[in-house]
Amino acid sequence: MKQIKVAVRKKGEPDSSTDMQAHDSELRKTLERLLKKGLNPMQVCQKLIEHNEAAPEGKDWSYDLVVSECQRLKIDHH
């Protein structure tokens, strides 16, 4: 039996999941571009801070956050 997922929101209320998907897509592109240059996660973290890239959930960029975001977005960070 297949399961169906339904998102319920009030009429006229913005859909935050599409905003999150757009942010995830941009973050994925940025991380992949930096890692493709041969940077390690610590260097990626420094570049994100230098360019004032917004970290998820208002956190500050750190080595652990870069690694966890790479894992969450299924990006090879090695």
Whether 46 is in a domain gets the answer: yes
CB hemisphere CA count around 41 (13 angstroms): 15
| Cα–Cα distance measured from residue 37 to residue 39, given in angstroms and rounded to the nearest whole number | 6
Whether 77 is in a domain gets the answer: yes
Q: Which residue has the higher pLDDT, 21 or 12?
A: 21
- pTM for the model stands at 0.70
Instruction: Summarize pLDDT for 30-66 with one digit per residue, the tens.
Output: 999 999 999 999 999 999 999 888 888 888 999 999 9
Tallying the residues shown for the chain, one arrives at 78
Mean pLDDT of the chain: 84
Domain assignment of residue 76, given as a range: 38-78
Whether 6 is in a domain gets the answer: no
Whether 51 is in a domain gets the answer: yes
